[in-house]
Amino acid sequence: MTTINDIAKLANVSRTTVSRVLNNNGYVSDEVRKRIMKIVEETGYIPSLSAKSLRTKKSGVIGVILPKISTETASRVVSGINEVVASENFQILLTDTELNKEKEIEYIRLLQSRHVDGIILLATNINDRLISTIEDAALPFISLGQDLPGVTSIVYDDYHASVDMTNMLIGQGHDKIAFIGVGEEDPSVGVERKKGYFDSLEKHQLLINDSWIQLGDFSIESGYECMKKIVKRNEDNLPTAVFVVTDRMAIGAMEYLREQGIRIPQDMAVAGIGASTLSQYVTPALTTIDYFNKEAGKKAAQLLLQQLKQKKEKEKFIQTYRLIKRDSV
């Protein structure tokens, strides 16, 4: 394995000069710099991150904790994070909790043991153990998706997005609107989106029918099953629209309606949240909310890099959104 000493010998310079070039720290003439980098490229030399960490007290690595790495939302957020941190010569280390809140705590401790410089958490819940673990880690920390106490957070405007979507359905003439949501352990998706739906119906003095409300688990399959329960329980009083809190579940709901010969949107309108790529290509195209996930990832990375440069007080940022009306309503 090639070492920094080997590079120095081949370039006929000191180890310190090679270190300056590799770390872009200190003056080295252009001619010497080019000679060293040519040798680095030819030998395939890879600087030791652990050695650099010992010298600088920085690892050059940002930890990212995802709730489900396979989702399009996570992919967009990570793309935004990586675009920003890579421009500052940082790398990212990804972990995937598979929606297991215990793993959020486990991975914070794991990333701390790997000496990451900071952590971005796509949070799905808020609890005392999580807050305590973050405090104990004593690392620069950004929460994306939940407003965590004591942590700089970027939150989606779930409440108003839900109000706007429900209002839009009401404006289309729907007065019997079903709802497919998720459990309240997720405050943003499970609580705020449901509250927006309830408040909009109440403001317009419309009926809130418990048999039109079902909770799933974010999956396409659960959207299908929730829609099935709503239809089976209300065969003589079907809602004319259904608001689903994620695109994935909305697509599952649409599949069940198609199987039953219930036309979308003529018999029942369907709306989701997430602006997934698939939402454009299902038939009919799904009305949805775009949260600009990649931009949220960029913002999270920028805030974390700012914290690495100087300690800042907790801040809260609300991510903007837009309602995309398509053929499903």
Per the structure, the complete domain to which residue 146 belongs is given by: 59-157+293-319
Q: Are 39 and 53 in contact (CB under 8 A)?
A: no
Instruction: Tell whether 52 is covered by a domain.
Output: no
Tell the residue number behind the tokens 């819940």, with chain if given.
125
User: Could you tell me if residue 329 is inside a domain?
Assistant: no
Do 96 and 143 sit in the same domain of this protein?
yes
The SS3 call for residue 270 is strand
Whether this prediction's pTM lies above 0.85 is answered by no
Q: In 10 A of CB 70, how many CB atoms?
A: 9
- Looking up residue 118, the CATH number of its domain turns out to be 3.40.50.2300
- Give the type of residue at 98: E
The closest of 137, 65, 76, 70 to 102, measured between CA atoms, is: 65
Tokens at 77, concatenated: 């957020």
pLDDT along the chain (329 residues), means of 10: 85 89 80 89 70 60 92 94 94 91 89 92 88 90 93 95 98 97 92 97 95 95 98 95 97 98 97 96 97 97 93 89 97
pLDDT of residue 113: 84
Decide if 324 is inside a domain. no
Taking Cα atoms as reference points, which of 50, 160, 68 lies closest to residue 116?
50
Q: Same structural domain for residues 142 and 202?
A: no
